[in-house]
Structure 1
């Protein structure tokens, strides 16, 4: 059974809620799912998953949540080759912050691609000003993503 790892960057639990809500969709599609609430670089590179999903909220002025900083710092300092990594990205933010809206997700996307990872499809950006519960946007997006990217294995 292929492995999907969901890497969560969250401050108040919104991104974790999204991860927990979408996990059953991947299980139904034939994946073993692991949700990583304190992700590290080792969680990514030691055993490259068959598929990765990043659920990352933005804090402050486009910053990464504290629990996600070790992973980002590892990517930045060690620049591992991620050529075999296929991923999707759900970025949570608040458009009232202007230019830094979904800043953490956008920066992560750039980092992953610069290291050779391949994003499948478009990044989902969830705006807290428009969507009270992020999973209301994430669930249909993940269903469509699984279908459009032909990710079903079961």
Structure 2
């Protein structure tokens, strides 16, 4: 059983919808799940955690959602030792914007790796143009991801 913290970066609510769906379903597979969204996402305490799942959208010109910027800045500036942490990333984007597709998820992925966290599995990139139900795609991916923890 894993104790999973889902960190949500969201502007329009799609990443939050995915995180909530995971929070509703992953405990049934024997995992404890906590969701940090809205104001909580930027201030999460990563000490004492063993598994983190970042679920973030990209908005504007490839920017991070406002609520996750404080966490990204903290990781960038302080570069804490996260070698104790396993993580995964679910990135939501729109391939219409090819140059910035899932850029926020890619950025968070790079920041966690730079701090020494151990990535589990491949990053899931969900395209809003082709996937009308991102929460179902996220759950399908996460059900496999948790088996690797």
Please say whether Structure 1 and Structure 2 have the same fold, judged by a TM-score greater than 0.5. yes
Which residue is 1:110 aligned to?
110
Deviates more, 1:10-19 or 1:29-38: 29-38
Please give the alpha-carbon distance, in whole angstroms, between the structure 1 residues aligned to 2:84 and 2:45. Answer: 11
Structure 1, unaligned runs of 5 or more = none
TM-score normalised according to structure 2 size: 0.91
**TM-score relative to the length of structure 1:** 0.89
1:74–1:27 distance in 2 versus 1, CA, 3 Å: same
RMSD: 1.5
The whole-number CA distance in structure 2 between the counterparts of 1:12 and 1:118 is 29
2:96 aligned with 1:58 = no
Offset of residue 26 of structure 1: 2.4
Matched, 1:6 2:6: yes
SS of 1:40's partner is helix
* 2:8–2:36 contact (8 Å) kept in structure 1: yes
Aligned to 2:45: 44
Q: Distance in 2 between matches of 1:44 and 1:59?
A: 25
Corresponding residue for residue 78 of structure 2:
78
Q: Residues 88 and 77 (structure 1 numbering): CA distance in 2 closer, same or farther, change over 3 Å?
A: same
C-alpha distance in structure 2 between counterparts of 1:65 and 1:6, whole Å: 15
Q: 28-37 or 8-17: which moved more? A: 28-37
**1:25–1:143: 8 Å Cα contact kept in structure 2?**
no
Mark the runs of 5 or more structure 2 residues left unpaired by the alignment.
none
Alignment of 1:5-154 (within 5 A): 5-37=5-37, 38=39, 39-41=41-43, 43-45=44-46, 47-147=47-147, 149=148, 151=149
Q: For structure 1, which segment, 69-78 or 9-18, has the greater mean C-alpha deviation from structure 2 after superposition?
A: 69-78
Tell me how far 1:81 sits from its aligned partner. 0.9
Deviations 1:46-94 (A, max 9, x none): x332211110000112110011111111111111111111011100000
The alignment covers a number of residue pairs equal to 147
